């Protein structure tokens, strides 16, 4: 039984390392895409950013954090930044828009 538990721990550690690597690869791809500055890159940006978010959720799960806890924490961060008058909110209203999306999920 200890051998199975050891194998599960090793498998989880390898999965965590793989997910971290995938996140870094996606972030590097995002930087490369932005550096190229192509005109029509909306689809590629959506793909890379959504992949980073997906991988982050999966990594959180492997680290023992539930998806609901991530969502709740994200909402709390948006609320806090709204209360503190974050510049992005003042300039563009992005945090209010994001809060609407989070609440309508």
Task: Kindly tell me if the per-residue pLDDT of 1 is higher than 60.
Answer: no
User: Same domain for 8 and 46?
Assistant: yes
Please report the pLDDT score of residue 12 as a whole number.
94
Percent helix, strand and coil across the chain, each rounded to 5? 85, 0, 15
Check if the beta carbon of residue 62 is closer than 8 Å to that of residue 16.
yes
Check if the beta carbon of residue 74 is closer than 8 Å to that of residue 67.
no
pLDDT-based confidence at 39, cuts 50/70/90? confident
User: Same domain for 61 and 85?
Assistant: no
pTM of the entire predicted model: 0.87
Looking at per-residue pLDDT, the higher value among 28 and 37 belongs to 28
Show the domain range for 12: 1-65
Considering its fold, how many domains does the chain have in total?
A: 2
User: Same domain for 1 and 19?
Assistant: yes
User: Same domain for 75 and 104?
Assistant: yes
């Amino acid at each position: 039984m200890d051998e199975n538990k050891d194998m599960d721990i090793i498998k989880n550690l390898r999965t965590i390392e793989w997910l971290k690597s995938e996140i870094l690869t996606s972030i590097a791809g995002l930087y490369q895409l932005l550096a190229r500055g192509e005109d029509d890159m909306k689809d590629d940006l959506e793909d890379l950013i959504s992949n980073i978010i997906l991988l982050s959720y999966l990594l959180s799960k492997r680290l023992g954090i539930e998806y609901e806890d991530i969502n709740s924490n994200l909402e709390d961060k948006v609320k806090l930044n709204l209360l503190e008058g974050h510049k992005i909110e003042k300039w563009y209203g992005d945090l209010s828009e994001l809060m609407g999306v989070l609440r309508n999920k």
